[in-house]
Structure formats: structure tokens, C-alpha cells
Amino acid sequence: MGLTADPAFTTTSFVVIDFEATTPKGHPAQPIEVAALALRHRHGDWEETGRSTSLICPPAFAPVTPLTTAQSGLTAEQFKHAPTPAVALGALDARFATGRRYLLVAQHAATEAGLIHRQREHCPNLARLNFIDTIPLAKHLIPGLPDYRLDTLLTHFAIPMPPDRHRALADVEVTAQVFFRLIAAADHDPQLSDLAALEKVAGRTAKSNLPAQGGLFDLETPSNPSYQPEP
């Protein structure tokens, strides 16, 4: 039985998530855009079950800079009427419902995990969800690449580069394409025969699920949180 035949895998919603952020001097990164794409693997194929995207108004100490504009195309003008983090992340958080099993999926999940944890008062459900990180999964399945950046993986899998690369929704969509190909490869890997094995290789525990005394350690306990909402 391969990974995608595991009942735990087929009953899990995988939510690919990406943030764009500003990085003000002397402060942690501040989110300015978020996108999420919810997916289930059913009957041998992937099915989209929901998506969400929103700009997020940055705080005054973390304005959109020319560097941010050069990378993402986002300008300060676009944020004049953008929702606050409380509104934008609260709306996303409300799309998760009790009783469903979720895992977040991200490219370099430490970045997304850190942003979510710092905003956890606005998205407590989201903050309790663990991650699958595409980087360690790709390292396990396709060793020997020069690096494991998203652009490198897109090239490796011949996935077209989106014209709006570095916008949250575009990055979520291509990360999902990378994830699909990695899972297809994992289905033939005897070391990744079920969801627990996948989490052991590529899982990252949400900081909100770590024991308080473990805050200095980067644990990779792959268990899902007991409260697992649905978008």
C-alpha cells in the first residue's frame, strides 16, 4: 500500500499556504499578503476544496518599500484600504471547521510558521496546525539538486514560472504543483508508505503545539493537533 492509499492521508486536507512580508529593521517580518489553497486526495487525484487570498495592511513601522515593490510588484498605494492582520487572518481562520484533519504545506515552512505564530492571537486555529515542508521532502526524494529553492524545483519539474512570482496566490499555486509531484514520487518510496512516515521526513510542528520548555528547540514531532478545523 502506497502513501496515497493510507486512510490517514486521504482523510487529511492539505492547505498550501504562503505569505508575502516586509522585513523592517529591528522587527520580525510582518505579513502583507496571504494565500491558502485547500486540497484533498480522492479517488487517485487531487481535488481543490477551497482557496483564499488577501492583502494585509502592514503596521506603520513596516511600510511597503521600493524593495518590496521590486520583488512582488505590490505598492504602498494598494494597501490604503487593505484589511488589518486581525481582519484578514481572522477571516482565514474562520474557514477552518472543527473535526477535520489538516496539515499545512509550505516551501521553507519555518518562514510561514514564524509569521503565523507571531500573529496567533488573530488566527488561533491556524496556529495549531502542523506543516509539511516541501524542502526536506524534496531533499529526500530528489537528492543531488544544486539547491532546493522554489525556482529550482519549478525548473526540475518543468513547471512554468508564473508571471506574478512572489505574489502569495501565484506562489501557493506553483508550490501545490511541486507538492503534487513530490507526493507522486513518494507513492513509490517504501520509506514513505503512510502519512506518519511523510510527517517524520518532512513534518514541522507548529510552535503553538510545542511544550513550553521546548521553545529553544526545533522539534519535528509529526503529530496533528487534536483540534483540526476545515477551510
DSSP string across 32-58: EEEEEEEEEEETTEEEEEEEEEEE-PP
Is a pLDDT exceeding 70 seen at residue 185? yes
Domains of the chain, each with CATH number or no CATH:
3-211 (3.30.420.10)
pLDDT computed for residue 214 by the predictor? 45
pLDDT computed for residue 229 by the predictor? 42
pLDDT computed for residue 226 by the predictor? 35
pLDDT computed for residue 213 by the predictor? 52
pLDDT computed for residue 1 by the predictor? 67
Q: Taking residues 151-177, what's their average pLDDT?
A: 97
Contact assessment for residue 220 and residue 29, using Cβ atoms and an 8 Å cutoff: no
pLDDT computed for residue 215 by the predictor? 42
- pTM here is 0.90
Of 169, 4, 189, the closest CA to residue 72 belongs to 169
Longest dimension (CA), the chain: 53
Q: Alpha carbon 80 to chain centroid distance? A: 26
pLDDT, tens digit, for every residue of 191-229?
999 999 999 999 999 989 988 654 444 444 444 443 344
Is a pLDDT exceeding 50 seen at residue 168? yes
Q: Taking residues 115-132, what's their average pLDDT?
A: 97
Q: Taking residues 48-66, what's their average pLDDT?
A: 96
Distance from C-alpha of 41 to C-alpha of 10, rounded to nearest angstrom: 5
